[in-house]
Amino acid sequence: MFLGGYRSQDPQAMLSEGVVGRSSGVRNRPTLIFDSDCSFCRRWVGRVVSWDRRKRLRYLPLQDAKAAELSGRKREELAMAVHLVRPDGAVFAGAAAVRETFAYLPGGSIPRAVMSLPGIMPVAARVYAWIARTHGPVGSRSGDALL
């Protein structure tokens, strides 16, 4: 059964689909929360903004006080990875947030489908973690900061 944008209310099933939590607030558009202090993050979000010709996404720097409230996560958690908060309140982080972002972009169904193939998300998560370590903000928590 498909409930609330994901197949199950079971926490383990949610995690396997990349859901890291639920937001209490329901919004009319998904919101991409990113680190505006990270130049890699700003460039990546800039590309997403250009691709989002239909303006289906909202963009919110994690430095904005509304980010923690919207996502239901602490700022320290938000600083670990990009987050996508869907209108139904589902919150995705890291590679799962990237995969979900594709759902709102023209032509994004193809990369989203590829990322949904069995075995791809563990690889995507490792690639995401590597990018976060090597391209995160200079001087951040020993390179653990994020996309």
So where are the chain's domains? 11-136
Average per-residue pLDDT for the chain? 81
The CATH code belonging to domain 11-136 is 3.40.30
Top pLDDT among 3 and 27 is at 27
Average pLDDT, integer, range 51-72:
95
pLDDT at position 13 is: 42
Q: Rounded distance, CA 102 to CA 22, Å?
A: 20
Model confidence, pTM:
0.75
Average pLDDT, integer, range 1-12:
35
Check: CB of residue 5 under 8 Å from CB of residue 88. Answer: yes
Average pLDDT, integer, range 27-47:
91
